[in-house]
A and B are shown apart, each in its own frame.
Chain A
Amino acid sequence: MCVSVARPYSTVARSPSTPLPLRSKLLFFLSQHFYDVEQLRCLLHPKFKGWIQVSISFHTSVPLCESFTSLAYVFALWFVFSSAVARSVSHRFSGQSEWFRPNEKGKFSWDFVNFQEHPIEEVDVSGTVINCTGLDNLGTAKNLRTLSLRGCREVDDWFLSRLHIFQESLEELNLSGCPRISVGGLCALHHLRKLRKLDLSSLPRVQNPGLVRILLEEVLPHCHITGVEYDEGLQAFQEEKDSEALSSTGTGA
């Protein structure tokens, strides 16, 4: 004989005559606003760094075609800012004066148009949904030195194959936490001859991270690759072997 207990699927099904206790009401309210609560939790965490940061360097180099470059430059920065706005989350103003970023309401000041002669040096688009078509907008930034793509879920191998436009200048590249990158895109990074720091932590689609690190270090000898240990792909193999040995002894005995 089986007894099935029917639980109500949601507490809303309760009849209005019996009011919810306060605790249930609070839990229900929190569950309805789950994402807001998550964002609040992330905001209050001191180490959260998902803000748009653009650093303007005060170079003295003058671009060749001033008017056209300045327009493209303005558009590049507008694109970078507005893609941050698209996240529709209230941003905290961080207080660093060298970086230009959107403020709490997603509004950004247009002060950067005053710096049109100065080329962009560092771009941080972590956590945005930038993809390889969006990279065209940054194509005018010929002196880009640092690019941070941490946690960008739309960055894939095709995006990496387009990074060759920065081959003369890119020195730091952060690719951690991008779920779509695989070895096919990493093998296109050999164009970036000036690369000095490369962050490859937590790339779930790369099966043998240790081997990939060794091969990349062969191809880019001056680059320091972080986030990956040499034996990362090997541990799984060792565990497999151990578990196979255990199971064989089990069946044998």
Chain B
Amino acid sequence: FHSHRNINQDVSLTVPPAQLAAMRKHAVRAMPGSDWQPLEITPGLPPERADVVIVGGGVVGWSVAYWLKRKERIRDGVRVLVVEKDPTYSQASTVLSVGGIRQQFSLPENIHLSLASAEFLRSINEHLGVLNEDPVDLQFNHSGYLFIASEKGAGIMEENYRTQRYAGAKVTLLSPAQVKEKFPWLNTEGVALASYGLENEGWFDPWSLLNALRRKAISMGVYQCFGEVTGFRYSTHSMPTDDSHQMSFKRIRYVNVRMPNSLEYQPVECAIVVNAAGAHSGKVADLAGIGSGPKDTLAAVPVPVEPRKRYVYVLHCPDGPGLDTPFLIDYSGVYCRREGLGGNYIAGLSPEEEEEPDTRDLEVDYNFFQDRIWPLLAHRVPAFECTKVASAWAGYYDYNTFDQNCILGLHPLVNNMYFATGFSGHGLQQSPAAGRALAELILDGGFRTLDLSALGFERIFHQEPVLERSIV
């Protein structure tokens, strides 16, 4: 009795109260019901197995994921994983895009892609509406595109107009007098012909589209992982051709996804890989060993997609053109559109091959505006003579160095790698239809709604570029 009391007293004296509290807290955490694990599991790891791994979480990647889930016939029929390197999307081409959509192309495939995408955007809440969530608001401005051609390019513009009308785009040709009457703020000197889109053309908010696709795809069961693809594990098998050359074909078995700010990686076992990595598609293709074969063979042809930096400038001009400003594209290449209602405009120009800026970072060169853009812009729209640059940003094009059109399809030498890349500035406007086309390729085995076989890999291997005939 006396000793019993002494023992209790001894125990309470030897363990200090703070340590006792810490022990109690640790014990509570170890009880079932808390998320404490004795072996720490990294949060955010991708699943160990997936059917389709989409490399790249931009608008094209999420569009493919959405359409794959939409076309699966049974619930959870396809397990889709989207791997995105940067959770902040700070350098993603999608969110840095100017956001325009047009049907005024010369290639019928491009026109159909854009038209189908506009159709998708028109009924976007039917496609991407999620129960109990806010409806999607794209802030679509239906202002149309106005292309201006000089004497040299007028013939090409007329032929393009016929192709566009045949494909179903609502475009109209305007003479210089009609342009002056419709848009009195435009200087029609040097203008021979203009092409104006009446419907389904304009600009919208790319971030809303990306978030809508992402939200809907995740609600349909797509897995999202933030990490970088650092390698592929593939198996190779060789087959002899008719002239008894050995051709080796690869099949990707595992995708190594490395966690951000860490050396830890998860090999994801997969059946199909979709390369929708945008400006970095070339690097991802190199990881799969494409383009590293013996010289003068098909295996030596790399995927011709590389990043190109483009500047976008926000201008403020209080006396500028009003609410009827279309997305103006001059024959010199300079483009300009209205932004908001406060007299702000967005302008840019594609630089020549020789003056391509360095793609290591996204720093903006303001001299480019002063030297190249402003003279051309002030000539075309005299009100822009007194304008000032409010801000600017730069973004990457996933530039197809071969023919500046997208690459959609399976690679002939890697049996399970699909490509949806190389859009060269048109990725946003073609993403819904391109995602659907790729989902049809994967799940149906071929194109069903739009025949885009002209945009596959065959043209690159046969060295037959499919070029857009732009007005000069």
Binds A, one of B58-66, B78-86, B138-146, B240-248: B138-146
Do residues B323 and A184 form an inter-chain contact, with CB atoms below 8 A? no
Interface 1/0s, chain B 413-448, versus A by CB < 8 A?
Answer: 000000000000000000000000000000000000
**Does B140 lie within 8 Å of A215, measured CB to CB?**
no
State in angstroms the CA–CA spacing of A132 and B118 once bound together: 13
Number of chain A residues whose Cβ lies closer than 8 Å to a Cβ of chain B = 23
B29 CB within 8 Å of chain A: no
How close is B419's CB to chain A, nearest CB, in angstroms?
32
Q: Are B199 and A161 in contact (CB under 8 A)?
A: yes
Q: How many interface residues does B have (CB within 8 Å)?
A: 16
Taking the closest CB of chain A, its distance from the CB of B165, in whole angstroms, is: 15
Known contacts A190-B323, A212-B341, A219-B323; is A184 also within 8 Å of B122 by CB? no
Instruction: Please state if B143 and A182 are interface contacts (CB–CB under 8 Å).
Output: no
Q: Are B142 and A158 in contact (CB under 8 A)?
A: yes
B323 and A161 within 8 A (CB): no
Q: Name the one of B141, B142, B198, B322 contacting A218, with C-beta atoms under 8 angstroms.
A: B322
B202 at the interface (CB under 8 A from A): yes
Across the interface, name the chain B residue whose C-beta is closest to A180: B135
Inter-chain contacts of A190 with B (CB < 8 A) = 323-324
A43 at the interface (CB under 8 A from B): no
Q: Does A72 contact B (CB under 8 A)?
A: no
**Interface of A, helix, strand, loop or mixed by DSSP:** helix
| Interface members, chain A 158-201 (any B CB < 8 Å) | 158, 160-162, 164, 182-188, 190-191
Q: Mark interface residues in A2-18 (1 if CB within 8 Å of B CB, else 0).
A: 00000000000000000
A183 to B205, CA, bound (A): 14
A215/B322 in contact, CB under 8 A: yes
Chain A nearest Cβ from B41, distance in angstroms: 44
What's the Cα separation between A161 and B144 when bound, in Å? 9
Which residues does chain B contribute within 8 Å of A223, judged by CB atoms?
Answer: none
Cα A161 to Cα B204 with chains together (Å) = 14
Task: Give the residues in chain B near A161, CB-CB below 8 Å.
Answer: 142, 198-200, 202
Contact of A219 among B140, B199, B324, B341 (CB under 8 A): B324
A129 contacts across to B, CB distance below 8 A: none
Q: Which interface residue of B122, B140, B199, B323 has the most chain A CB atoms within 10 A?
A: B323
B100 to chain A, nearest CB (A): 13
| Residue of chain B at shortest CB distance from A182 | B139
For the complex, is A117 an interface residue (Cβ under 8 Å from B)?
A: no
Task: Tell me the minimal C-beta distance from A76 to chain B in angstroms.
Answer: 20
Contacts of B322 in A (CB 8 A): 215, 218-219
Q: Is the CB of B142 within 8 A of A216?
A: no
Flag if A132 contacts B142 (CB, 8 Å). no
Report Cα–Cα, A219/B144, bound state, in Å. Answer: 15
CB neighbours of A228 from chain B (8 A): none
Residues A191 and B198 in contact in the complex (CB < 8 Å), given A208-B341, A219-B324: yes
16 contacts between A and B (CB under 8 A): A158-B142, A161-B199, A161-B200, A162-B199, A164-B199, A182-B139, A183-B341, A184-B142, A184-B202, A184-B204, A185-B142, A188-B144, A191-B198, A212-B323, A215-B341, A216-B323
